[in-house]
Structure 1
Amino acid sequence: MELVLSDELLGTFVPIIVYWLYSGLYVILGNLDSSGEYRLHPRSEEAKNIVSKLQVVKGVLVQQAFQIVVALCLFALVKDDSQTARPQPPLLVVLAQMVVAMLVLDTWQYFMHRYMHINKFLYKHVHSKHHMLVVPYAFGALYNHPLEGLLLDTIGGAISFLASGMSPRTGIFFFSFATVKTVDDHCGMCLPGNVFHMLFGNNSAYHDIHHQLYGNKYNFSQPFFVAWDRILGTHMPYKLERRKEGGLEARPAKD
Structure 2
Amino acid sequence: MTRTARRNRRTLQVVGAGAAALLALSACSSSGDASSTTSDSSGSASSSGKLSGEVTVFAAASLKESFTTLGKEFEKQHPGTKVTFSFGGSDSLAASITGGAPADVFASASPKTMKIVTAAGDASGTPSTFVRNELEIATLPGNPDKITSLKDLTKSGLKVVLCDKEVPCGAAAQKALEASDLKLTPVSYEQDVKAALTKVELKEADAAVVYKTDVHAAGDKVEGVEFPESDDAINDYPVTLLKDAQNAEAAKAFITLVQSAEGQQVLTAAGFLKP
TM superposition score normalised by structure 2: 0.25
Pick the structure with greater CA Rg. 2
Quick check: which one's helix share is greater?
1
TM superposition score normalised by structure 1: 0.26
Quick check: which one's strand share is greater?
2
